[in-house]
Amino acid sequence: MLRPFKSDLVLEEKISDATLKAYYVGFDQNKFRFVPLVDVIRNVIPEFALGYHCGEQVPLTEIIERLKEAAETVYLTEKYQTRGEFGELILHLLLRDFHNTVPLISKIYFKDSHNVPAHGFDGVQISINGDEKKLWLGESKLYKSGSGGIRDLAGDITKHVNGDYLRREFSLISKKLPNNIPDIEHWRALMDKHQRLDVIFSSIVIPMVCTYNSSVFDGHNDNTPQCISDFITEWNQLNNEFVRLKGSVNVEIILMLLPVPDKDALNTELDARLKLMQKI
């Protein structure tokens, strides 16, 4: 599998079931691998902000300016702890590196000012495996509590797995599709206002990412079998709660869990990296 951001050197998919994915960062020299994690998330910013399909069209003479533009497009504010863009970067990273997807369009394209968050799905990507074509409509949360994150994600399902909501989102997305999207006519037809909901629901995947503070880190500082076992127990407990809360739905939903020692520290470091990019 092509991994454009090479995050498999930092993130290990410890659980890879049909409906549950769990990602482990782990330790090096008895310390959580914080810097490598920040590095791979930061590397997503240009593609996320400028768009995957313009990546091969940026001349070397414009690279610095385009990087600065990408960083400024994410946001320009000191009030970063309550924003959702870093969760969207994590979603983008996990889909690209572990699910072989291609971005369809970035949520950034729906912003009408720098510091006003865009509404809608946190990520819109596609996958093509032979005759199987899937539209990935993702959501992402960064939470101090894993249970709080999955509770909110489960609540989003009711709102988003809804014919009227999907048609409204499709109406916005379809107007902004780049012309060089693979099989673009297929995606236009899928998002047409007259498309049957049976076809739409069978063609979409909803990945739901929860990056959260895990207490498992309090008792471990090495990649021991017991550490992994404790994480697996936690992941399965969160997944069981998520399954209970979301109930029965007729679309493919994947819960993706990424535990960290401190999501606020992660936000703070990513904000610092973003601001450095804005000053180059």
Per-residue model confidence (pLDDT) at position 87: 92
Tokens of 269: 């470091």
pLDDT grade for 54, boundaries at 50, 70 and 90:
low
pTM for the structure as a whole = 0.91
DSSP string, 159-204: HHS-HHHHHHHHHHHHTT--TTSTTHHHHHHHT-TTS-HHHHHHHE
Residue-wise pLDDT tens digits, 108-126: 655 555 544 455 788 999 9
- Kind and range of the H or E element at 212? strand 204-213
Which segment of 112-116, 143-147, 211-215, 235-239 scores lowest on mean pLDDT? Answer: 112-116
β-partners of residue 55 are none
For 111-145, b where at least 16 C-beta lie within 10 A, e where not — what string? beeeeeebebbbbbbbeeeeeeebbbbbbbbbbee
Which segment of 10-14, 56-60, 242-246, 257-261 scores lowest on mean pLDDT? Answer: 56-60
Q: What mean pLDDT do residues 199-209 have?
A: 96
Mean pLDDT of the chain: 88
β-partners of residue 20 are 255
Residue-wise pLDDT tens digits, 72-102: 776 545 544 555 688 999 999 999 999 999 9
Residue 174, pLDDT > 80, answer yes
Per-residue model confidence (pLDDT) at position 74: 65
Give the N- to C-terminal CA distance of the chain in Å, as an integer. 33
Q: What mean pLDDT do residues 236-240 have?
A: 98
Residue 242, pLDDT > 70, answer yes
For the chain, percent of residues with pLDDT exceeding 70: 87
Per-residue model confidence (pLDDT) at position 235: 98
Per-residue model confidence (pLDDT) at position 80: 47
Per-residue model confidence (pLDDT) at position 56: 60
Residue 248, pLDDT > 80, answer yes
